Amino acid sequence: MKNFVLIKIIEAMIALWVITLIVFGLTHLSGNPAGALLPDDATQEQIDFLIQRLGLDQPLHIQYIKFLGGALQGDFGMSMKWPGEPAMGVVFDRLPATLLLGGVAMFISIVIAIPLGVMSAVHKGKTIDSVAQGIALIGQSMPSFWLGILLIWAFAVGLKWLPTSGSGTFMHLILPAISIAWFQISALTRLTRSSMLEVLDAEYIKLARAKGVSEPMITWKHALSNAAIVPLTYFGVLAGSVLTGSVVIETVFSWPGLGWTAIEAIKARDFPVVQSVVVVFAIIFILANLLVDLLYAYVDPRIR
Amino acid sequence: MLGFCFSARKVLISGAAITLMASSAIAQNVVVAIDPGSAESNLYWETIGGLIPPHMQSLVGNDPETGAYDNSGLAESWEHNEDFTSWTFKLNPEAEFSNGWGPVTAEDVVHSAALHVGEDSRLSGIQALRDATVTAVDEHTVRFDLPSPEPDFLFLHAGRAVLLIYSKAQFEAEGLEGYAENPAGSGPFTYVSRDLSNTLKFAPVEGHWSGVDVDFDSLELRFVGEPATRLAMLLSGEADIVSLPRELQADAVAQGNEIVSSAQASMQSAMVFSGLFMNSDGPAKDLNLPWQDVRIREAMNRALDREAMIDILYEGRAEPLTVFSMDPRFDGYVPDLTENFDDSYGYDPERASELLAEANYPDAFENRVIPIAATALAGNPEFGLMAELAQSLFADVGLQTEIREMDWPTLQNARVGFTADFVHPMRNAPVRPNAIGVLASHTTHLSPAYSIGSPELDEMGAELVETKEPAERANIVENMFTYVFDNYAHMPIATVSAEVVINPERVKGWQFPGASSSGFSHFHLIDTVE
């Protein structure tokens, strides 16, 4: 198990290093930030100062080494769109809002998807199964931003029950969290359903039934505890999807999180903030997957 | 007696209740939802100056209706020497900063100018102040000595607002941190708070030194990137005023909201050619751009059905433009060009096709395909559609084109680096005095990246820079515009006002001239429903 953990940690470190290479390369390939940060009539003097201030006048490999050196110490430079703010400061300022939104979205996903998937499997071919399949189909075919706008239209503009956008109260959380959760609900429901169907057909379930164990006990204890391993594996993906989903949804709902910050930073070619956001997203994603791998190995000894 | 006292008390209580109700009825928080800016900071010089914060002021103001320079800013009067190299401003002695930072003095202006011209300044047009010497003549008199004549110096202070006045006293007490945390201004509002990328909040100054009386309790600027969300905010009552792309304005109006336009044109739009295409020694020579041939430029201009474009892009609420960067409000305007516009530029696909044949297009051109940049720019949501419309109209006359999707910064970088080989939509915001406009948009003198590369035009520009006599300057500007017009150097489209959509149940109206960089100003003139 120790070797397994060690290998997984080394893999995670390598993945993170590769991500720094990619994000550094992509941000620099996207062009000079002068066009985004300076006015149309910027003088050469203004352009030169900005380029020098960002260190863009140095060879690319030197820039990367400096970036990596700074990143290892948590210093990603100063934001260009939000002057005076350290890039990582902007990220940490916005991170709690994204974690809150993502956490609520994941909670909604799990609370709805797992029971729905289980019920769908148990009542295969019946009405509840059809409903669950329908929800899954709609959720996976409808873009989240479109769903977000529809929800705004229905619940904020039409019914006036909830705010259109912004943050500050629990009410502000509901629509964006549902928008992010919807896709995850459909994915998780399908996974849970197929996993449960497989387990419900297993010999030990038949044996339990023969022994007279009640159906709820068979479904929710014996079957689900074994079937849960597949949805559990999906949690790593789920965490990543929630983060990437936040980029679009936070923009639609003006939710002051990392996703909205990322979009604003990309539009402004704010290299330091873009790099910080991507690295933080990557760390969260890698940690979530590492945790899932370890849990998976713990639950299923064959994996080790 | 007891009864009387009781009644009197009841009356008093009722009176107080009525007063409270009345005050709560007029208590109104005005929420304005707009696009996020490219940079957000309370240190104005660290932004490009797109939005003048409502608590700050420049030396010179604009009349809300005509856009004319007036003394609604910090200066009550001004004068210049004969050759426009020295400008003296008399500050309003009543002017004072909010939060108790004292009167506005000439020293504050000197201090603010030094901050604005620092290396970190990103301000549009700041180069005009870079080499100026700013002197406090006395407590309320400040003089700008300039290295070259600046007859349009007032525009830099009013429309462009390159210099906002900060309190020196606050700086001495709190440093830049004080400005960043709670900047004192002299405008009709005080700064309350900023939540980066989300909101900027202001409160009106009671008994403002200028006599301005704001009729609402607070002002909130919300930065919302998604236009559909801004529309939803208006329809749900969360915002009172929103900026919307024109395609969404109709939905808002259908729900009982109203469009409010700036009193004056705030922007000009055009399709422009890239590269130093009139310079045979410039980079364009290697690119072999089709529009190096004036016949192609004329054909492209004649292929554009401007009336239809204005109807589609601006729902008819725009005026045709004669020459990009020429405006009838300023010296140097040439009415003859407008009168001759239809003859020279009018929609004529047949003539366009003939011109292409005369130029032996496409056979005579190595790069026969004309790329059109489809781009998005804040405040100009119609740019993508403009590119597609132009492509369709060009195709009708036989021009081969392709759409290139690119963001504005990429486009800008290509222009600055002289690697741009495409035509693209362009805007001029704010509409500038003609002398500034013609220099910035067509020559190497103010914005080299936009130069069309004509040595003849650059020569006239150099003469303009050195000329002080107003009539002579106007004459040179007229000649420059005529040259641009005759050579089909641009594809002018329209002159457009800045527009917002208001909820008439909350806001009666808003008078703003459209003369500032973002088009929006005079927030104190938002007239709310009491």
**Among A118-127, A234-243, A255-264, B262-271, which stretch is predicted with the lowest mean pLDDT?**
A234-243
Query: Inter-chain contact B39–A80, Cβ cutoff 8 Å?
Result: yes
> B153: which 2 tokens?
């110096």
Pair B150, B128: CB distance under 8 Å: yes
Residue whose C-alpha is closest to residue B502's, from B240, B248, B262 = B240
Cα–Cα distance, B214 to B217 (Å, whole number): 8
Contacts of A43 in chain B (CB under 8 A): 127
> B12: which 2 tokens?
């008093």
DSSP string, B304-344: --HHHHHHHHHTT-EEE-SSTT--TTSTT--HHHHHTHHHH
> B338: which 2 tokens?
């407008």
Q: For chain B (length 530 residues), average pLDDT per consecutive 10? A: 39 43 60 90 91 94 93 96 94 96 98 93 87 96 94 90 96 96 96 91 96 94 93 96 92 96 94 87 73 96 97 93 95 96 97 97 92 88 94 97 91 85 91 93 86 93 91 96 97 95 95 88 92
* Strand ranges, E, within B125-217: 133-138, 141-145, 189-195, 199-204
Backbone angles phi, psi at A30, to 5 degrees: -70, -10
Nearest CB to B233 within list A53, A164, A263:
A164
Averaged pLDDT, A79-93: 91
Q: How many CB atoms lie within 10 A of CB B160?
A: 26
Query: ipTM more than 0.90?
Result: no
Nearest chain B CA: its distance from A95 CA (Å): 14
Query: Inter-chain contact B416–A35, Cβ cutoff 8 Å?
Result: yes
Cα–Cα distance, B234 to B496 (Å, whole number): 23
Q: Which residue has the tokens 């997984």?
A: A8
Q: With pLDDT > 90 as the criterion, what percentage of chain B qualifies?
A: 73
Q: What does the pLDDT read at residue B238? A: 95
Per-residue pLDDT tens for B473-496? 999 999 999 999 999 999 999 999
Judged on CB neighbours under 10 Å (0-12, 13-18, 19+), B141 is middle
Query: Inter-chain contact B39–A166, Cβ cutoff 8 Å?
Result: no
Q: Which residue of A has its CA nearest to B127?
A: A43
**Strand, helix or coil for residue B414:** helix
Residues 6+ apart with CB under 8 A from B146: B84, B85, B86, B87, B128, B131, B132, B153
Per-residue pLDDT tens for B343-378? 999 999 999 999 999 999 999 998 899 999 999 887
Contacts of A156 in chain B (CB under 8 A): 232, 236, 238
Nearest chain A CA: its distance from B376 CA (Å): 11
Nearest chain A CA: its distance from B268 CA (Å): 15
